[in-house]
């Protein structure tokens, strides 16, 4: 999947455009705030093309902001990784020194750069936008990120600029991605699995740029292991391993079936791990949490229970996720982790017969129907699983618009209770009967 990066100086409306591109509603957390200021990741689609969107921190030179150097490095990394770059400027401010600095950087980039002039919400501003031809980046797209004016035409241009989608013939094997923050033990975990094995088929190039797929065949399991830990590092990456690890994880997650998220038990389920977790959840992938370095944690009677409870509080409301405590150094529960990933893959691939769904769920719904709204009563008549790679269910009823999110979560919980979707996001849709 392609990556579109939004860059520019602070306060040009980058975050507002990002929210609009990923169809973010104010009441829903549909973006991931990074550990550094103003960094977000999300998914978007337009005219049948899916792509990831990254909103970088504002590019600033010479300010007093203590985050300035870190943000600038992130912008450069995003530019390096992105397939298409949206350069945001502000029509109300005209060309600033920071805009010129970013333009100088982007003129050296050999990939599509779309100049986006924001806050063009009246004819006078449209006249002001002509000034931005002076940046030497060619034609511009005038938009208002708040009202949405012009964003449709911008998205048309983005899709046109995306690399041509190439269909690849892949083996019908599960793809398990090992992801996590640096130094959590990803490399050691992978080496423990494949380092001395004699059942390994030769390495093959993965569909995800800069990642390596290894075919694994042992103890009755066969799958492709997507290694993000061993990806070659670029010189500039030394300065910001945290951000680059997320950039690599974005691509690996999008092309896998199950994510094995390796975390460091001594650091906890911190912001970086949560970022990767929610990326996997929003991409509707199977998830297994591997708590590595458990041998280094000082234990008490209920240490495992309490530690696990804390993780589940952080991942609410999606808490039906397996958590395996491992020690790669001592090779404790390494193969338990793989067994669990295989179970999650099977859960993600599970298909429930329509007759069974209705037989089990309709009596539950009849006993606990959706709450009435405005004197209207919702009657759910029929349920079916949609033909998608991950579990998605359509509930057909007379008034789908009156079914609120709490009742959808109730239905999801009943699906989990009766059909075991442990480790897999489940989507519930209400449809007009």
**The 392-397 sheet, strands edge to edge:** 380-385, 392-397, 427-432
pLDDT at 37: 44
Whether 136 has a binding-site annotation, put simply, is: no
Q: What DSSP line would sit under 203-256, residue for residue?
A: PEE-SSTT-EEEEEEETTEEEEEEESTTPPPPGGGGG-HHHHHHHHHHHHHHT-
Residue with tokens 């229970």, as numbered in its chain: 305
Whether 119 has a binding-site annotation, put simply, is: yes
pLDDT at 384: 95
What is the number of other CB atoms lying within 10 angstroms of the CB of residue 30? Answer: 16
Whether 230 has a binding-site annotation, put simply, is: yes
Contact between 35 and 275 (Cβ < 8 Å): yes
Name the 3-class secondary structure at 160. helix
CATH number of the domain located at residue range(s) 2-161 in this protein? 3.40.50.300
211's CB contacts (< 8 A; 6+ apart) are 226, 227, 228, 231, 248, 251, 252
Distance CA 309, CA 242 (A): 26
pLDDT at 204: 38
Whether 320 has a binding-site annotation, put simply, is: no
Question: How many residues does the structure list for the chain?
Answer: 433
What tokens were used for 431? 């449809």
pLDDT at 230: 42
Whether 182 has a binding-site annotation, put simply, is: yes
Distance CA 287, CA 320 (A): 10
Whether the predicted model's global pTM rises above the 0.75 cut = no
Whether 375 has a binding-site annotation, put simply, is: no
Backbone angles phi, psi at 264, to 5 degrees: -90, 115
Give the domain ranges of the chain: 2-161, 175-349, 354-432
Whether 218 has a binding-site annotation, put simply, is: no
Backbone angles phi, psi at 309, to 5 degrees: -60, -40
Whether 186 has a binding-site annotation, put simply, is: yes
Whether 187 has a binding-site annotation, put simply, is: yes
Whether 16 has a binding-site annotation, put simply, is: no
Backbone angles phi, psi at 399, to 5 degrees: -135, 70
**Residues facing 215 on adjacent strands:** 224
Whether 118 has a binding-site annotation, put simply, is: yes
Whether 181 has a binding-site annotation, put simply, is: yes
Say whether 354-432 and 2-161 share the same fold: no
Q: Which residue in 265, 116, 101 sits closest to 181, CA to CA? A: 265
Whether 331 has a binding-site annotation, put simply, is: no
Whether 8 has a binding-site annotation, put simply, is: no
Distance CA 179, CA 186 (A): 7
Considering the four listed CATH numbers 3.40.50.300, 1.10.760.10, 3.10.20.30, 3.40.630.10, the one that applies to the domain covering 175-349 is 3.40.50.300
Whether 57 has a binding-site annotation, put simply, is: yes
Distance CA 40, CA 30 (A): 10
Whether 292 has a binding-site annotation, put simply, is: yes
Whether 104 has a binding-site annotation, put simply, is: no
What is the number of other CB atoms lying within 10 angstroms of the CB of residue 300? Answer: 8
Residues of the chain with pLDDT under 70: 1, 24-41, 57-75, 77-78, 165-171, 195-213, 219, 227-249
Homologous superfamily of the 354-432 domain (CATH): K homology (KH) domain (3.30.300.20)
Does a cis peptide bond (omega within 30 degrees of 0) precede residue 317?
yes
What tokens were used for 166? 């190439």
Whether 185 has a binding-site annotation, put simply, is: yes
């Amino acid at each position: 999947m392609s990556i579109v990066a939004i860059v520019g100086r602070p306060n040009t409306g980058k975050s507002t455009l990002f929210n609009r591109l990923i169809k973010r509603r104010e009441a829903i957390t549909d973006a991931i705030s990074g550990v550094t200021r103003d960094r977000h990741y999300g998914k978007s689609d337009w005219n049948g093309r899916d792509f990831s969107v990254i909103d970088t921190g504002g590019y600033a030179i010479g300010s007093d902001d203590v985050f300035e150097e870190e943000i600038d490095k992130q912008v450069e990394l995003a530019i390096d990784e992105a397939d298409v770059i949206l350069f945001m400027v502000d029509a109300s401010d005209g060309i600033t020194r920071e805009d010129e600095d970013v333009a100088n950087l982007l003129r050296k980039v050999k990939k599509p750069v779309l100049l986006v002039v924001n806050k063009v919400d009246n004819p006078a501003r449209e006249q002001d936008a002509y000034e931005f031809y002076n940046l030497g980046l060619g034609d511009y797209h005038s938009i208002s990120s708040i009202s949405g004016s012009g964003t449709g035409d911008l998205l048309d241009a983005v899709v046109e600029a995306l690399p041509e989608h190439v269909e690849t013939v892949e083996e019908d094997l599960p793809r398990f991605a090992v992801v996590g923050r640096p130094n959590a033990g990803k490399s050691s975990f992978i080496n423990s699995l494949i380092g001395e094995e004699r059942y390994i088929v030769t390495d093959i190039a993965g569909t995800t740029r800069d990642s390596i797929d290894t075919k694994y065949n042992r103890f009755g399991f066969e799958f492709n292991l997507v290694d993000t830990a061993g990806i070659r590092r670029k010189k500039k990456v030394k300065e910001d391993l945290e951000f680059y690890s997320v950039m690599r994880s974005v691509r690996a997650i999008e092309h896998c079936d199950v994510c094995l998220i390796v975390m460091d038990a001594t650091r906890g389920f911190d912001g970086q791990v949560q970022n990767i977790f929610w990326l996997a959840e929003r991409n509707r992938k199977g998830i297994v949490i591997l708590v590595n370095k458990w041998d280094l944690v000082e234990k008490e009677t209920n240490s495992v229970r309490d530690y696990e409870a804390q993780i589940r509080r952080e991942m609410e409301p999606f808490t039906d996720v397996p958590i395996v405590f491992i020690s790669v150094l001592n090779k404790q529960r390494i193969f338990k982790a793989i067994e669990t990933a295989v179970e999650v893959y099977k859960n993600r691939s599970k298909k429930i017969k329509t007759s069974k769904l209705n037989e089990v769920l309709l009596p539950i719904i009849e006993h606990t129907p959706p709450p009435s709204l405005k004197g209207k009563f919702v009657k759910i008549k029929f349920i079916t699983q949609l033909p998608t790679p991950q579990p998605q269910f359509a509930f057909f009823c007379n008034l789908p618009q009156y079914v609120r999110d709490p009742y959808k979560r109730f239905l999801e919980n009943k699906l989990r209770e009766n059909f075991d979707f442990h480790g897999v996001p489940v989507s519930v849709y209400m449809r007009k009967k």
